[in-house]
Structure 1
Amino acid sequence: MSDSHGPPKEFTVRAVVLGLLIGTLLCYTNLYFGLQTGWVSMMSLQSALIGFLLSRVLASSLTPRENVVVQTTAVATGTMALAAGFVGIIPALGLLNIDQDGIPPIHLSWPASLAWSFAIAYYGILISPPIRKQVIIKEKLPFPSGTATAQLIAVLHKLPPPTEPNTSLGEYSPVATNEGHFEDHDIVAGEPLDQTSLHLSQSWRPLTWSLVLSALITLLAYFFPVVFSIPLFGTYLAREWLWTFSPSLSYIGQGIIMGFPTTISMALGMVVGWAILSPLAKLEGWAPGPVGDMTTGSRGWILWVSLAIMCADSIVSLLPVVAEFATSVARGWTLHETHNDTDDLEVEVPERLVPLQWVLWGTATSVTLGTIVLWTIFGDEGIKPWASLLGYAIGGLLSILAVRALGETDLNPVSGLGKISQLIFAVVQPSNVVANLIAGGVAEAGAQQAGDLMQDLKTGHLIGASPRAQFYGQLIGSTFSIFVTTTAYNIYTKAYEIPGPSFPTPTAYIWLNLARLLRDGSLPEKSGLFMTFFAVASGLVSATKVYCAGGQSKVTKYIPSGVAFAIGFLNTPSFTLARLIGGAIEAAWRTHQKSKGRDGGITLVVVASGFVLGEGVVSIITLVLRSCGIGVWSCWGCGHELCSGCPGS
């Protein structure tokens, strides 16, 4: 907040309220998609766009800095489903059983889930301000998505392209006025935005019709489930091998946002996993159960291969980051040195920064209370207090790696970092599956929050928003989201079987499988051989990609993404096929626009956002319908028995 002689106010009631409203929608959307496929998105660009459009409709246009607070608050609110483990860790605890794990399933009550969320909701936020000074102010890491969002906000508010501020202390302009050019900071199709590419009326129309169309199709699929489970390749392949097609516009929209290279990587994984390895495991008797069974079926069998690919890709991708971090330390990067060097470059006045005392006291309080809460919920048999403290410490170190990886590559390897924490806790608290899962959850929460929120701080840095205002927005958004996410998950578990046909929660099985493997070393038959082969192959591909990226090679974008390839194993073909269509649309649109000498603007990302949000809105409606006992109207066409909601599915 500032006086009448200072810069415009940015931490305002309308900015926070808009951020919370948008973030709540994103929270439900992320929980819905996360439980289905494990996919969660920070949606910062979409939040800034929707916030701008809503403010114009309400005849109270936001300032650029207010828009930064809107999208910062929305992101903090919308990503709690992943940060608090509701799409992975919490469902994994519910999959425990006496025979395999020696303990019964752990189903957290609403108060316990609330306490768990409070225990891990603030760690990543509190450690972000000190990291910001190093990676954004001193090293000026690009943070492509954060930079792209700043570029979008500049377009929306008719500002010059944002560049790194170079003003002196106390004379901070809203954005730099010199022309800047952003290369490889993808919005859609990897193209920079055109300053004339957006008009309000031209944005509302595609956003509205795409959202309504997606919502109507989703509602139709709720009452007639076959709509989202079409046996495109025949009933036999659908029933026996899970090859169906879901014409979900939301997943097509996700494919557009992901881009063609990523969706191609996922499609390659789908072919290898579901067309080659799944039938091989089934026919050879390595996975004798039904194909869709996560324990004895080939779907569970290929999850192990997916796990190996993810771990190998994440570890190799992190090696340059670790090496650079170690080099910085070896050169004498101490807190004192960082303070002196970075303050010389800091463009903000102290009143707009987050004080170090807040960080220290807040972190100490958060970790202390979090440790007590975890011990209260899970007891000594779950995770011991000293182990919780160690988990927070490991999470802090891994968060730094996550931030650096995201800043340099635009990829936050949270799943891989969580697995690293699991590996460490296999030594710290051996044979304890619960402690292993909790430690992984703490590391994932810190890495995810610190990384994604750093993107927002990069946006604010380029637009000239106050880091303290963003910090407030992050705290408010995360606190509000604790109640929203916990309540939503509690309602989902009462309305649906989780895991179940509608929400298989594949990432929960990944977490639990690794914890069990680290406890007793037991693997499904022959899976170890394939895990080794694909881990080595994934590591080599990832190393090649890292090497080419370091040399700014143009072939980098043609090298498959290991994580995206693994997700092709993780999800059934129906979701991947829809995303591939979206990726193909993105590529065709980009080619068409280039042929006309245009960059494409943000029209396609507006449509894609509408597709994703449309299904997210209806997910709230269908959740209410299911809770009220209103279900499927007709199971016509569901002969393959894979339609969610139909008897026998």
Structure 2
Amino acid sequence: MEEEIQDRREGRGGVEHDGVAAMEQAFVDTVIPPWWRQITFRAMATSLLLSIVFNVIVLKLNLTTGVIPSLNVAAGLLGFAMIKSWTVLVEKCGLLKQPFTRQENTVIQTCVVASSGIAFSSGTGSYLLGMSPKIAALADAGNTPNNVKPLSLGWIMAFLFVVSFVGLFSIVPLRKVMILRYKLTYPSGTATAYLINSFHTPKGAKLAKKQVWFLFKSFIGSFLWACFKWFFAAGDGCGFDSFPTFGLQAFKQRFYFDFSATYVGVGMICPYMVNVSLLLGAILSWGIMWPIIESKKGSWYSADLKASSLHGIQGYRVFLAIAMMLGDGLFHVVYMVIVTAKNFAKQQSDKKSLTDDADENFDEKRRTEYFLKDQIPNTVAVVGYLTLAGISVVLVPVIFHQLKWYHILLAYTIAPVLAFCNAYGCGLTDWSLASNYGKLAILIFSAWIGQEHGGVLAGLVSCGVMMSIVSTASDLMQDFKTGYLTLSSPRSMFFSQVYGTALGCITSPLIFWFFYKAYNVGDPDGAYPAPYALMYRGIALLGVEGFSSLPKHCLTLVIVFFVAAVVINLLTELLKKYETKYKVYRFIPSPMCMAIPFYLGAYFAIDMCVGSLILFIWEKKNKKQAKNYAPAVASGLICGDSLWGVPAAILALAGINSPICMSFSSGSGS
């Protein structure tokens, strides 16, 4: 689910447009700085620091379980805290020249989210890592020189710079149509704008200070707890990360609580049903299916295969997870295309102009005025897209000889259409399906090119090209919505995206390389198993080999789980549409979420359910306090635990190991 918590921002932060609009009156006497003064040196410096922090967080989540929550709230809150602290200090010295505005806060948040978005779309925990010899060896099949590329910091950084900026220009000409004419809500962008607006009102500023204090306390506690755990983790299977909470037999089936503050925090941010779905998936797979299939060893698959072979038990784990992901992804792609087409046709039939509302209120007029004030010429967007796409068509085949120029040209020809569908659908539902478009690209290009010509590697590269464009387009439109609601200039928003993307193209590979050299990244039983790397390579193998690569009876199970994912999603959507009294659809698990533990086990799902339990109890005791401070506490838990990974990696590179190994064995000695 590397994608799906990131892609489907099903968080609790959604707000109604009117709730945000009512706040605009508080800023009627505030001077709005011109776009170039919204981009300050202190904002750029703060964005750089926070980009490093958030890239570490996203990378660690990518390399552990792939479950990434929306970090927009944390970015806005930390940006406010850092600049507000600085301006208060400078003001006391009598040196403050420019007050801290919500526009500057929006610029910081946009930069940080754009940068951490590269950590997601760069594929360092999925398609890009899946190209490496280590993951190819785990996959067993397709491990040929033409389908493997040793990782190097140089070509990774070059590839990201070549493909990451194209998507910024693909959707810019449609910004007025999306935001003003169709009035798409973009719930995450709206919620972020609400947060920033509230920070900069007198009452909101007081609340923000308390939120910062909660975040700081949980950050320090999380960091110190991670440091304490390190002392007991001298070897594999040691420490609190391998604590057999429910007994040794349950531990062997990967059912235990590993005391991870990161995933407790993630669980507090994610909706309850996401966490329950993860736990149900773990029970179904590790509690029921895998023990049954393992009992067929020697019959369904050879008993002599190594544990990581995709022709053995690992094949069932990986390909059944892939089947559910593809079923879920394909359903939502088709569903989103239908929803987009219907809504687009309806909007066209209404023939609304940009400002034809007779009763348009003061706030909307003011926002429209500033949104239209600093425009980005469409010619700049078109020329920018064509130029950058042309550079990619030339340079991507140089980096990856398996792909030809016409493959990349075709990808960039259809990408703007997919980018529009994704950005439009995201505006309606808050779902970005970038990773699903990427998976489809893997299947199409790997099958087209074939294994003997490097189809596995080519499919993974095409995934990166497609994901970079489609993901960036929806993120940019979310930020335009945030900018519209905070009276931030479209030019400052676009510049922030470009700057944040550039930061991401530098910091994301560097941080990944740091972890890659310090730890055994990709080891299924290690601290950083990077599950999506093997899964994405498995999708490419399906593309080049077809179903012949599956173990015995695996195809039957793949079809069953693929159909089940489609049926579950179809049932959910039908209940949403026709069943209103009991809202049963809220209790139907997500197939995508259920698929994640198929490979990893239940430990992180248990962590996240603990986070949900903490939030549930907190809401029962004081719902208002939980609503105000739970996101800040969760963000602190994630930041503190994740940042400990940096000094831990430095110690590992220096050859300094933990002094103690805390491990457990059966009292009977068996």
When normalised by structure 1's length, the TM-score is 0.85
In structure 2, C-alpha distance between the alignment counterparts of 1:635 and 1:332, rounded to whole Å: 63
Is the aligned partner of 1:59 residue 2:79? no
In structure 2, C-alpha distance between the alignment counterparts of 1:599 and 1:41, rounded to whole Å: 21
Q: How many residues align?
A: 593
Residue number in structure 1 paired with 2:7 = none
Structure 2 residue matching 1:117: 3-state secondary structure? helix
Is the aligned partner of 1:129 residue 2:177? no
1:372–1:158: structure 2 CA closer, same or farther, 3 Å change rule?
same
| Residue 606 of structure 1, aligned match among 614, 618, 632 | 632
Q: Describe how 1:186-205 pairs up with structure 2 within 5 A.
A: 199-205=207-213
The Cα offsets for residues 22-45 of structure 1, whole Å up to 9 and x where unpaired, read as: 121001111111011123345111
Is the aligned partner of 1:364 residue 2:391? no
Q: Which amino acid aligns with 1:430?
A: G
Residue number in structure 2 paired with 1:471 = 494
Query: Is the CA contact (8 Å cut-off) linking 1:21 and 1:74 kept in structure 2?
Result: no
| Residue 319 of structure 1, aligned match among 300, 323, 334 | 334
In structure 2, C-alpha distance between the alignment counterparts of 1:413 and 1:46, rounded to whole Å: 23
Is the aligned partner of 1:568 residue 2:601? no
Is the aligned partner of 1:386 residue 2:406? yes
Structure 2 residue matching 1:108: 3-state secondary structure? coil
How far the C-alpha of 1:51 sits from its partner, in A, is 0.9
1:404–1:486: structure 2 CA closer, same or farther, 3 Å change rule?
same
The Cα offsets for residues 134-161 of structure 1, whole Å up to 9 and x where unpaired, read as: 33222222222222111111221128xx
How far the C-alpha of 1:197 sits from its partner, in A, is 9.8
How far the C-alpha of 1:217 sits from its partner, in A, is 1.7
Is the aligned partner of 1:278 residue 2:290? yes
Greater shift, 438-447 or 348-357, is seen at 348-357
Is the aligned partner of 1:221 residue 2:229? yes
How far the C-alpha of 1:499 sits from its partner, in A, is 0.9
Query: Is the CA contact (8 Å cut-off) linking 1:42 and 1:78 kept in structure 2?
Result: no
Structure 2 residue matching 1:498: 3-state secondary structure? coil
Consecutive unaligned residues of structure 2, counting only runs of 5 or more, are 1-29, 89-98, 234-238, 358-367
1:580–1:292: structure 2 CA closer, same or farther, 3 Å change rule?
farther
1:277–1:135: structure 2 CA closer, same or farther, 3 Å change rule?
farther
The Cα offsets for residues 475-525 of structure 1, whole Å up to 9 and x where unpaired, read as: 011112211111112222221222121211111111110110111122122
Residue number in structure 2 paired with 1:540 = 567
Residue number in structure 1 paired with 2:14 = none
The Cα offsets for residues 541-565 of structure 1, whole Å up to 9 and x where unpaired, read as: 1112223344584333222222222
Greater shift, 5-14 or 620-629, is seen at 5-14
Residue number in structure 1 paired with 2:78 = 50
In structure 2, C-alpha distance between the alignment counterparts of 1:508 and 1:59, rounded to whole Å: 44
Greater shift, 567-576 or 144-153, is seen at 567-576
In structure 1, C-alpha distance between the alignment counterparts of 2:304 and 2:87, rounded to whole Å: 59
Residue number in structure 2 paired with 1:184 = none
Query: Is the CA contact (8 Å cut-off) linking 1:437 and 1:511 kept in structure 2?
Result: yes
Residue number in structure 2 paired with 1:166 = none
In structure 2, C-alpha distance between the alignment counterparts of 1:397 and 1:289, rounded to whole Å: 48
How far the C-alpha of 1:5 sits from its partner, in A, is 8.0
| Residue 145 of structure 2, aligned match among 94, 100, 103 | 103
Residue number in structure 2 paired with 1:175 = none
Query: Is the CA contact (8 Å cut-off) linking 2:69 and 2:269 kept in structure 1?
Result: no
In structure 1, C-alpha distance between the alignment counterparts of 2:629 and 2:220, rounded to whole Å: 16
Q: Which amino acid aligns with 2:587?
A: Y
In structure 2, C-alpha distance between the alignment counterparts of 1:425 and 1:201, rounded to whole Å: 51
Q: Which amino acid aligns with 2:288?
A: I
The Cα offsets for residues 335-356 of structure 1, whole Å up to 9 and x where unpaired, read as: xx99x95587954465522221
Residue number in structure 2 paired with 1:173 = none
Q: Which amino acid aligns with 2:199?
A: L
| Residue 526 of structure 1, aligned match among 553, 563, 571 | 553
In structure 2, C-alpha distance between the alignment counterparts of 1:276 and 1:151, rounded to whole Å: 45
Consecutive unaligned residues of structure 1, counting only runs of 5 or more, are 160-194, 641-649
Residue number in structure 2 paired with 1:577 = 606
In structure 1, C-alpha distance between the alignment counterparts of 2:219 and 2:106, rounded to whole Å: 24
Residue number in structure 2 paired with 1:456 = 479
| Residue 585 of structure 2, aligned match among 550, 556, 560 | 556
How far the C-alpha of 1:68 sits from its partner, in A, is 0.8
Residue number in structure 2 paired with 1:90 = 128
In structure 2, C-alpha distance between the alignment counterparts of 1:123 and 1:484, rounded to whole Å: 19
Q: Which amino acid aligns with 1:252?
A: V
Q: Which amino acid aligns with 2:46?
A: L
1:477–1:300: structure 2 CA closer, same or farther, 3 Å change rule?
same
RMSD: 2.8
Moved over 6 A (4+): 289-292, 328-334
Query: Is the CA contact (8 Å cut-off) linking 1:86 and 1:489 kept in structure 2?
Result: yes
How far the C-alpha of 1:330 sits from its partner, in A, is 7.0
How far the C-alpha of 1:358 sits from its partner, in A, is 1.9
In structure 1, C-alpha distance between the alignment counterparts of 2:70 and 2:545, rounded to whole Å: 36
In structure 2, C-alpha distance between the alignment counterparts of 1:65 and 1:372, rounded to whole Å: 38
Residue number in structure 1 paired with 2:5 = none
How far the C-alpha of 1:297 sits from its partner, in A, is 5.2
In structure 1, C-alpha distance between the alignment counterparts of 2:430 and 2:345, rounded to whole Å: 26
Q: Which amino acid aligns with 1:88?
A: S
Query: Is the CA contact (8 Å cut-off) linking 1:291 and 1:298 kept in structure 2?
Result: no
Q: Which amino acid aligns with 1:231?
A: P
Is the aligned partner of 1:24 residue 2:52? yes
In structure 2, C-alpha distance between the alignment counterparts of 1:143 and 1:242, rounded to whole Å: 38
Q: Which amino acid aligns with 1:533?
A: V
Residue number in structure 2 paired with 1:502 = 527
Q: Identity percentage over the alignment?
A: 26
Greater shift, 618-627 or 467-476, is seen at 618-627
Query: Is the CA contact (8 Å cut-off) linking 2:260 and 2:607 kept in structure 1?
Result: yes
Greater shift, 405-414 or 32-41, is seen at 405-414
Q: Which amino acid aligns with 2:485?
A: L
How far the C-alpha of 1:639 sits from its partner, in A, is 5.3
| Residue 208 of structure 1, aligned match among 202, 207, 216 | 216
1:204–1:516: structure 2 CA closer, same or farther, 3 Å change rule?
same
In structure 2, C-alpha distance between the alignment counterparts of 1:126 and 1:516, rounded to whole Å: 33
How far the C-alpha of 1:570 sits from its partner, in A, is 4.0
In structure 2, C-alpha distance between the alignment counterparts of 1:221 and 1:290, rounded to whole Å: 35
Query: Is the CA contact (8 Å cut-off) linking 2:153 and 2:513 kept in structure 1?
Result: yes
When normalised by structure 2's length, the TM-score is 0.82
Residue number in structure 2 paired with 1:644 = none
